[in-house]
A and B are shown apart, each in its own frame.
With several copies, the nearest count.
Chain A
Amino acid sequence: MVEIRFHGRGGQGAVKASDILAMAAFREGKEVQAFPFFGVERRGAPVTAFTRISQEEIRIHCYIYEPDVLIVLDPTLIGPIPLTDGLKPNGKIIINSERDSNSFIFPDTENPTIFTIDCSSIALKYGLGSKASPIVNTAILGAIAKVTGLVSIESIIEVIKERIPLYKEKNALAAQETYECMCV
C-alpha cells in the first residue's frame, strides 16, 4: 500500500487532487481510498488530504501518519505546519514552487527526494483560478503521475475530464504539461 499525503490551502483543490489520484488508480485496477482532514473549511486555511493506493482491499480508516509521498500545493505552508511528520525514509516530496528543489531542506526527514514544479504558473497559463489564487490541483497531478509512477498520465487525464465540471480540457492540458516538464 502506498500512502500519499497532500497539504494545501482551502481553495487550491487538495481534496479534489487526492480524489482524482485515487480514481485514476482505480481505473488501473487498484484498490483506493481518498479523504480529507476536514477542518473548518475557509479560504486560505490549511487543508490536508490523503490517498491510499493498494493491490488489496483497503480496510484502514485513519489518517496517514507515515506517508510514502508528500504533496505540497502551497510552499508557504512549509514552516508553519510540520508537513514532513512521519515521512517514510526515502520518501518523496513534491512541491508546487518555482524554486529549485535544492533550495528546500527538511531537517527531520530521512533521505527524501524532493521535486519542485511551478504548478501555479502552469495553472495560470491555462486560466485555472485567478492570479491571486491559481487552482493547482490538476497541474500537480501530472507531476505526481510522473514522479511516483503510481498511475499513468492517461488515467489522470481521463478522470480529470470526467470529474472536473468546468474547463476540462484546460485542466487536462495543465496535468499533461507538468507531466511532461517534470524531470525525475
Chain B
Amino acid sequence: MSKKNDEKVIVIQNGDDMPSMPASMGSMKINKTASWRSIRPVIIEEKCKRCMICWKFCPEPAIRPEDPPVIDYDYCKGCGICIEECPFDAIVSEKEGK
C-alpha cells in the first residue's frame, strides 16, 4: 500500500458506503495523534550515534530509522520512551504547543 493510500479518508455518508459487516476499509494512519503530545522529543543530531534504539522502542512507531533518525511529529504521542532509552542523551524533551 502506498503511503497515500494508507492515509485514505474513508467517507461514509450512508449505509451503502459500508460493507455488510464492520470490516475496516482504511488504515489508522489517517489518525494523526500529534495532538496527544504534551512534550516533544527532539533529536540532537550531534549527540546522536545512530544506534537506533529510539526507533526500536517507539511504540507508535513514529521514528524512521534514517541517518539520523527522524521523528514523525504527525504521530509521536510524546511518551518520552525514546528520550529515556537513548543511551547517549541525544533526545531532549521540549514543551509542546503554545
Contacts and interface: CB of A to CB of B under 8 A. Distances in A.
Check whether chain A touches chain B (CB < 8 angstroms). yes
Main secondary structure of the interface of A (DSSP, over half): loop
Given A44-B36, A44-B77, A76-B35, A131 B95 contact: yes
B35 A133 contact: no
A149 B95 CA distance: 36
A132 B35 contact: no
B60 interface: no
The bracket for how many chain A residues form the interface is: under 10
A43 interface: yes
A130 B93 CA distance: 14
A132 B80 CA distance: 12
The bracket for how many chain B residues form the interface is: 10 to 19
B32 to A, nearest CB: 10
A67 B88 CA distance: 52
A178 B1 CA distance: 52
A132 B39 contact: yes
Contact of A43 (B36, B95, B96): B36
B97 interface: yes
11 contacts: A44-B36, A44-B77, A45-B36, A76-B35, A76-B97, A131-B38, A131-B95, A132-B38, A132-B78, A132-B95, A133-B38
Nearest to B33: A44
Chain A CB count within 10 A is highest, among B35, B77, B97, for: B35
Interface string B65-98: 0000000000001100000000000000001110
Interface in A103-156: 130-133
Contacts of A43: 36
A80 B35 CA distance: 11
